[in-house]
């Protein structure tokens, strides 16, 4: 793994475990939206990620060079997704195709309800998750920020839950941090924030709320300078994680002096 | 010749074409490729022996950029 953070002892040792594997970075990069493979390669490198998502689409005759070349060159592991599926049936078929194409049983399960919101369809999602677990897949479901649905997905045997912060590509950040905190508390699996991140502070907040990792795609690939944003996200994830472990002070309505009043001069 | 649908387009193939041959023709490099015939995903091991039949709907898919 080529990473800007390797020299940083605070983060280098801070891997997380999912499906029995140690993942070397808490930042997962989605590859959608990058303007070129060169830009994508730079973003992957500067993000320090160890895991990137890829999709499956119809072969276009005459198109050479693929996202897999970039993954291989940068030494990252691939997490295939079922992007674009609206039904459990299509998602299960796509996951099976991913397993053949990428020779991995890991799948990021996306079953969306409609094109406008790209929100997960809870019923189809849970159905697909259950079927795929039964077929031996390690399922990473893209889910809403509903704690009950997250719990159900954990119960059917998913290996992580991936709640959204806001709709895909919206860049709106984390709209319901309280739900995320509840998911964190109620689900023992890794919680990976997926979708909605707009900028580095959103990623830091996700980690401060106790997420194990953050997935970012558009916020990096569609930034004016994707490489620089990728590096910013890496720092944000590290900072947020450290802050979460350090323990923040409680919020108060009124001030609390940090300087003692003892020994204050009477002038 | 047999008439099939490949990635949504009508196509005529020689009668004895295997899935492996179709993949080689369409995709070249088979890395990151998956094939489904009539909504059934084939394992890679099946490609060499499975012949494309009249009326088959074949999807030949490859790794693409994707992710939220």
Nearest Cα neighbor of A153 from A178, A114, A172, A127 is A127
> What's the CA angle centered on A105, arms A101 and A111, to 5 degrees?
85
Residue A63 lies in a domain: yes
Which residue did the predictor score with more confidence, A5 or B17? Answer: B17
Residue B15 lies in a domain: yes
- Residues in chain B within 8 Å Cβ distance of A58: 7-8, 59-62
Grade residue B68 by pLDDT with cuts at 50, 70 and 90: low
Per the CB < 8 A criterion, the answer to whether A221 and A34 are in contact is yes
Alpha-carbon distance values, A156 to A109, A114, A130, A194, B41 (Å): 14, 24, 6, 20, 24
Task: Compute the count of residue pairs across chains A and B with CB atoms less than 8 Å apart.
Answer: 111
- Residues in chain B within 8 Å Cβ distance of A110: 68
pLDDT tens for each residue of chain A, 267 residues long: 333 334 344 545 688 999 999 999 999 999 988 888 899 999 999 999 999 999 999 998 766 668 888 898 999 999 999 999 999 999 999 999 999 999 999 999 999 999 999 999 999 999 999 999 999 999 999 999 999 999 999 999 999 999 999 999 999 999 999 999 999 999 999 999 999 999 999 999 999 999 999 999 999 999 999 999 999 999 999 999 999 999 999 999 999 888 888 899 999
- Residues in chain B within 8 Å Cβ distance of A40: 65
Cα separation, A129 vs A240, whole angstroms:
30
Structure tokens at A218: 């558009």
Residue A260 lies in a domain: no
**Total domain count, chain A:** 1
Residue A261 lies in a domain: no
**Total domain count, chain B:** 1
Per the CB < 8 A criterion, the answer to whether A117 and A108 are in contact is no
Q: What is the CATH number of the domain that holds B7?
A: 3.10.20.30
Residue A256 lies in a domain: no
- Residues in chain B within 8 Å Cβ distance of A165: none
B27 touches chain A (CB under 8 A): yes
Q: Which residue of A has its CA nearest to B34?
A: A101
End-to-end CA distance of chain A: 62
Residue B67 lies in a domain: no
CB contact under 8 A, A56 and B62: yes
Residue A50 lies in a domain: yes
H/E element holding B63? strand B57-65
- Residues in chain B within 8 Å Cβ distance of A55: 63-67
Q: What is the CATH number of the domain that holds A148?
A: 3.20.20.70
CB contact under 8 A, B65 and A55: yes
CB contact under 8 A, A101 and B27: no
Residue A254 lies in a domain: no
Q: Where are the alpha helices (DSSP H) in chain B?
A: 19-27
Catalytic residue among A108, A152, A184, A241: A108
Known active-site residue A96: no
* Structural domain harbouring A228: 9-246
A96 touches chain B (CB under 8 A): yes
A108 touches chain B (CB under 8 A): yes
Residue B68 lies in a domain: no
Measured in angstroms, the CA of A41 and the nearest CA of chain B are apart by 12
* pLDDT for A9: 41
* pLDDT for A25: 94
* Structural domain harbouring B37: 2-62
A252 touches chain B (CB under 8 A): no
Per the CB < 8 A criterion, the answer to whether A210 and A19 are in contact is no
A38 touches chain B (CB under 8 A): no
C-alpha neighbours within 13 Å on the C-beta side of residue A45 = 11
Cα separation, A206 vs A201, whole angstroms:
9
A34 touches chain B (CB under 8 A): yes
B49 touches chain A (CB under 8 A): no
* pLDDT for B61: 94
Residue A258 lies in a domain: no
> Which ipTM value was assigned to this complex?
0.92
Q: Of A31, A102, A142, which has the smallest distance from its Cβ to B65's Cβ? A: A31
> Could you tell me how far CA A266 lies from the centroid of its own chain?
56
């Amino acid at each position: 793994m080529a990473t800007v953070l390797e020299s940083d002892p605070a983060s280098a040792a801070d891997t997380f475990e999912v499906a029995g594997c140690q993942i070397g970075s808490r930042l997962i990069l989605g590859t959608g939206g990058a303007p070129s493979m060169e830009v994508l390669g730079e973003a992957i490198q500067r993000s320090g990620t160890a895991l990137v998502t890829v999709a499956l689409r119809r072969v276009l005759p005459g198109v050479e060079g693929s996202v897999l070349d970039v993954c291989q060159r940068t030494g990252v592991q691939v997490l295939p997704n079922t992007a674009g599926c609206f039904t459990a049936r299509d998602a299960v078929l796509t996951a099976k195709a991913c397993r053949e194409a990428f020779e991995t049983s890991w799948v990021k399960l996306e079953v969306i309800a409609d094109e406008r919101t790209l929100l997960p369809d809870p019923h189809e999602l849970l159905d697909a998750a259950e079927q795929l677990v039964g077929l031996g897949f390690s399922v990473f479901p893209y889910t809403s920020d509903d704690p009950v649905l997250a719990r159900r997905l954990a119960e059917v045997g998913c290996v992580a839950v991936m709640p959204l912060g806001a709709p895909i590509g919206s860049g709106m950040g984390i709209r319901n941090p309280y739900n995320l905190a509840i998911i964190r508390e109620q689900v023992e699996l890794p919680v990976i924030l997926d979708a909605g991140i707009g900028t580095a502070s959103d990623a830091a907040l996700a980690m401060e709320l106790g997420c194990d990792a953050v997935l970012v795609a558009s916020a990096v690939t569609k930034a004016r300078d994707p490489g620089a944003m990728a590096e910013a996200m890496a720092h944000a994830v590290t900072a947020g994680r450290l802050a979460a472990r350090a323990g923040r002070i409680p919020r108060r309505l009124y001030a609390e002096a940090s300087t003692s009043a003892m020994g204050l001069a009477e002038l | 010749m047999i008439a099939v649908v490949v990635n949504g387009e009508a196509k005529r193939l020689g009668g004895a074409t295997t899935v492996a041959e179709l993949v080689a023709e369409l995709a070249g490099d088979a890395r990151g490729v998956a094939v489904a015939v009539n909504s059934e995903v084939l394992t890679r091991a099946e490609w060499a022996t499975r012949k494309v039949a009249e009326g088959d709907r074949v999807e030949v898919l490859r790794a693409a950029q994707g992710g939220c």
